[in-house]
Amino acid sequence: MSLSGCDDSGRADALAATERWFVRAGMPHFVEDRFDVGLPRVLRPFAAVLELSRLGLMLGFWTVRRVIAEAREMGHLAVRALPLLALFGMVIFFTADFWQVAAALDSGWLWVTAAFFVLLIQAFLIARLPEEFGTLPKACAPERIRASCAATPLAEFALTGAELDADPVLGPAQRRNMFVYLLLSQTIQVSLLSWMVFFFYVVFGAIAIRPEVLTEWFKHPVPDARLLGVRVPGVSSELLHSAVLLAGLSALYFAITALTDAAYRREFFDRTLAELDRAIHLRAAYLTARRRS
């Protein structure tokens, strides 16, 4: 819908549709005038609570959609990342010492170890991601704005030939939004990969590590694990513990590699930056449309 010659209702509809696009894309802070500053002072704390609740719900829905979208890319992720991570962990997977270390962890310490890997990954991402903002545009070229508006509610407006403002006006709220977007996107990708690695080693271990080998390593027969009271043939608790440790190590290795290795960065991280780049250019068109509506 064109914003240059349509009525006020049409302009409002187009802008509202663009704002919904930002919310669905995980960029609610790219929408202007989200807070109702016209409320009496005594009611403003309640408005802030409602706004935080609304943002929390939007974040939850976006996270679910992002998980589903990343799950659809599991085949690509497996083909590109799993061979590297399998080779990374295969050496220690066939060592008795590693299995004994993993088996010595009871359920509580196993969860503590897994949480430690999560904290390490989050610490690395939090320290590294702000550096990526330097690669994002601070000013937008008109041609790039028009290309980014394709298949959005502002597509026709961008093609009308109107002069487009180059400044996307990225304040602290927008930068926080972009940081959370990058952090959650990478966390979801790393989490899905860690589950993939976990199931890979469980299946591979059940096939390749025979009970006789485990008996030799642990000096006693190793029983099968039980899941919800049902025995799982060929899968011992020692195997599950070993798979958890390898999944944590692989997730940490992948999180670092995806941001520092040029080849893996192109495959797994630059796509997320491209999504942010498009949102920034669309915001420039959105702000232009708001000022002229």
Q: Write out pLDDT tens, residues 11-24.
A: 678 888 999 999 88
The two structure tokens encoding residue 227 = 């899941």
- Cα distance between residue 184 and residue 64, in whole Å: 11
In Å, how far from its chain's centre is CA 292?
35
Please tell me what DSSP assigns to residue 35: S
Task: Calculate the dihedral angle through the C-alpha atoms of 233, 236, 240, 241, rounding to the nearest 10 degrees.
Answer: 180
Q: What is the pLDDT of residue 82?
A: 78
Give the pLDDT score at 112.
95
Q: Which residues of the chain have pLDDT under 70?
A: 1-11, 33-45, 47-48, 161-162
Q: Please provide the DSSP assignment of 243-272 as one string.
A: HHHHHHHHHHHHHHHHHHSHHHHHHHTHHH
pLDDT of 170 reads: 92
Q: Scan for tokens 């590699």, then name that residue.
A: 257
202's torsion region: left (phi>0), alpha (psi -120 to 50) or beta?
alpha
pTM, whole model, 2 decimals? Answer: 0.84
Residue 1 contacts residue 14 (beta carbons within 8 Å): yes
Residues 210-228 have pLDDT tens digits of: 989 999 999 889 898 888 7
- 165, 139 contact by CB (below 8 A): no
Q: What is the pLDDT of residue 21?
A: 92
pLDDT of residue 292: 79
The total of other beta-carbon atoms located within 10 Å of residue 31's CB is: 19
Q: Strand 230-236 vs strand 224-227: parallel, antiparallel, or unpaired?
A: antiparallel
Which residues are 226's β-sheet partners?
231
